[in-house]
Structure 1
Amino acid sequence: MSSARSPSAAPELLDDDDLLPEILLRLPPQPSSLPRASLASKRWRSVASDPAFSRRFRRHHRLNPPLLGFFRVELRGRFEPRFEPSLDAPNRIPPERLSWRWNKGDDCYDLLGCRHGLVLLLNRAHTQVLVWDPVTGDRRRVAVPPGLKIVGAPISGTVLRGAGDDDHFQVVLVGTDGEEGQITEAVAYVYSSETGAWGDPISTPLPSKHAIVSVNKTAVMVGDFIYWLLNSVGILEFDLDRKRLSLIPVPADLDLGSGSYFFSLIRADGGGLGFLFLSGFNAQLWKRKTHSEFLMVLLHGCWKKLLKLIGYFLRRM
């Protein structure tokens, strides 16, 4: 028979310098978790507010982070990225906390997308991108590579961090080469904050000289692959590991001549690349089955159910 643990044993364990961080590390990855824990004692507050522990906490929960909200661009004299929270209290983050704070002399930026806690913006006038961390307020400006045309040309991109790396990031920019109506290829560049330099251009030929990157749709990342739409011509696939750019076809049998329609790339449920196509009161949801084929997994259905399903997939992008 083991003896009963003394009443003071639990507090002693929680005050252990090695054990306490391991316990707090396993709290749910909600915005309120660490602030609530920090109210327990000065010792808990010291651990929860330590920057090194905060980095460990983010890395530990990187595979299943909560969706805090999204950014939308408002025109208030200039384009302003505004944060829209998606969680309820006590995890709801006030919009002003993560929204863009204009400094004197700030230029106008285009919002290219956000990923891994970073926001990527484009300043066409100064031919540079800005990587912004809404939590810390850090802003990192990077000159766009000279070979990528951005003035009067469609351009898209994304920002990402490596697994377990909170100190460095990568920026991928993609555009098209050639004058309007005479476009011959798509080209991509990758920037590494670790080296502070852009890599060599990576290109792939395009089947249509009218193909342009859909700048109004953000990139979709599936594993080590990043995807962008090229109008209805095809889908650009960038292999981040092999640094290879290629073109894959959109799903077959899309009815693009039936008036208004909408299509977008999504991350499919269960993994893989998905394609959403809306036309009138009908919807098609496709999932990429192989490297060259799409499988239609949903056809017509109740419009209200379709809207609910579409909202679900868009939130998971």
Structure 2
Amino acid sequence: MGSMISRPRRRVHAPPTPPLPLDEDDLLSEILLRLPPHPTCLLRPSLVCTRWRILLRDPGFLHRSRAFHRTPPVLGLFRISQRSGCFVPVGEAPDRVPPRASRSPTPPAGCRHGRALLRSRPGWLQLLVWDPITGHRRCVRLSRLGSHVKACNATVLGDPVGLGRREGSFRVAFVFTGNGRASACVYSSETSAWGRLITAETPCDDVCDKPSALVRDAVYWLLDEGGILELHLGKESFASVEPAPHAQSLYLWNIQLMEAEAGVLGLADVKQYSLHLWAREADRDGNANWVLRTAIDLSVFAPPPGVIPRIMLMPPIKILGVDEGGDFAFLRTILGICMLSLDAVAVQLKKVSDADLLEIVCPYSSSFVAGMNN
């Protein structure tokens, strides 16, 4: 027999292992984006590994989270007085915001979409768009206003992701009134410029300093002597809206504009020891009317039976603000500033700060990873 000749065996190469979903940053980001935006819920995945922690704390991820979740959690409120402003967190550890978020350079004019809009004092010559969580700031300059201007207000708006705009872009809507007229202009971070001046055709009162409400593509401000000013951003036009007919009490205009359910203009009205939630709904003929949706009892703040309440120049309960999701109202009471949930099923009340008679508040909502203190 001849000797057997051994031939080299062909090595079979295993097909490359496809990457796991969690190995792809883009796919992992989409998965994490769908977690509840509560600070503690984001804390747990941030502890998995350094890569996950860096991704979750990236400013770009926080911007996408704010755009994805319609109602981010309320992290606190800015207390604004005539001279200063300070931030008061409403969460307990570890859900409290980092220390740097509590240091406001100047009092905010409003908060929305994770940003605070700060204004120079005196005057309105300069605005500062500030993200308290990421620390990002951007200056927006205004032209000098004429001597006829009596009152001003402004709000910051985040541009939705996916509309061809850069991530983190924003707009600022600025309104001013004087001599019975209202004018407004809108700044875009995309162009770094103000748009055209929009002037209302019909006379109106001066705009007040209460925070505005954003409903779809329109911004609403309260006026001093009653009435509501609507600035439609897409149409670049003004309109006037009559308030709810019964939204007045002994103390004039103890109300706050808000977005109601189904994306319509809403209004919160405090009358003595009751809070009323109104919505401006269209009837079958297309006419918009105010409808009372909910009444919340606040008699817990009423004096005990048999005690005659003293006459006060200020209302016993005053509404100071409503968060941008319409989930919480902030009230000044005899106990201090209280945070009231507007859930008709499980109404909850929590004291968050002491009160000052001359203060207004701007609730601040944003996405935030608990434990992010540096």
TM over 0.5: yes
User: Which residue among 72, 75, 78 is the counterpart of 2:79?
Assistant: 72
Match of 1:312 among 319, 341, 344: 341
CA deviation vs aligned residue, 1:77-104 (integer Å, no higher than 9, x gap): x513x2222233332224x2312255xx
Larger radius of gyration: 2
Shift of 1:12: 5.9
Indicate conservation of the 8 Å contact 2:153/2:175, yes or no. Answer: yes
- Alignment of 1:23 onto 2:52: no
> What are the ranges of 5 or more consecutive residues in structure 2 without an aligned counterpart?
1-16, 303-316, 320-327, 330-339, 343-361, 366-374
Q: 1:31 to 1:213 in 2, by over 3 A?
A: same
Q: Decide whether aligned partners of structure 1 residues 33 and 186 sit closer, same or farther in structure 2, where only a CA change above 3 A counts.
A: same
Instruction: Verify: 1:280 aligned to 2:272, yes or no.
Output: yes
Question: Superposition pairs for residues 244-255 of structure 1, below 5 Å?
Answer: 244-253=237-246, 255=248
Structure richer in helix, relative to its length: 1
**Contact between 1:261 and 1:280, CA under 8 Å: does it hold in 2?**
no
Rate the CA distance shift 1:248–1:46 in 2: closer, same or farther, 3 A. closer
Q: How many residues align structurally? A: 287
Matched, 1:237 2:234: no
2:177 aligned partner:
176
Long gaps (5+) in structure 1 = 1-8, 103-108, 178-182
Aligned to 2:333: none
Q: Over residues 282-309 of structure 1, what are the superposed CA-to-partner deviations in whole Å (9 max), with x where a residue is unaligned?
A: 5543211136421233569563499898
Q: CA deviation at 1:187?
A: 0.8
Kindly report which structure 2 residues correspond to 1:84-99, keeping only aligned pairs within 5 A, or say none.
Answer: 84-94=88-98, 96-99=99-102
Q: Does 1:190 align with 2:186?
A: yes
Q: Distance in 2 between matches of 1:151 and 1:243?
A: 23
Give aligned-pair identity as a percent.
Answer: 36
Q: 1:185 to 1:260 in 2, by over 3 A?
A: closer
Q: Identify if the C-alpha distance between structure 1 residues 260 and 54 changes in structure 2 by more than 3 Å, giving closer, same or farther.
A: closer
Match of 2:290 in 1: 294
Deviation by residue 1:100-127 (Cα, 9 ceiling, x = unmatched): 255xxxxxx4421011111112214461
Aligned mates of 2:24, 2:113 — CA distance in 1: 32
Counterpart AA for 1:252? P
**Separation in 2, partners of 1:27, 1:17:** 16
| Residue 138 of structure 1, aligned match among 118, 136, 139 | 136
Q: Larger relative contact order (C-alpha < 8 A, sep ≥ 6)?
A: 2
- Partner-residue secondary structure (3-state), 2:39: coil
| Residues 77 and 89 in structure 2, CA contact (< 8 A), matched pair in contact too | yes
8 Å CA contact 1:124–1:151 kept in 2: the answer is no
Provide, for residues 163-189 of structure 1, a one-character-per-residue CA deviation record: whole Å limited to 9, x for no partner: 115332110011113xxxxx2211111
Runs of 4+ in structure 1 over 6 Å off = 305-309, 314-317
* Paired position in structure 2 for 1:63: 70
Alignment partners' CA distance in 1, 2:101 and 2:207: 29
Shift of 1:274: 1.6
Mean alpha-carbon deviation: is it higher for 239-248 or for 46-55? 46-55
Which residue of structure 2 lines up, in the alignment, with residue 163 of structure 1? 160
Q: CA 1:245–1:89 in 2, change beyond 3 Å: closer, same or farther?
A: same
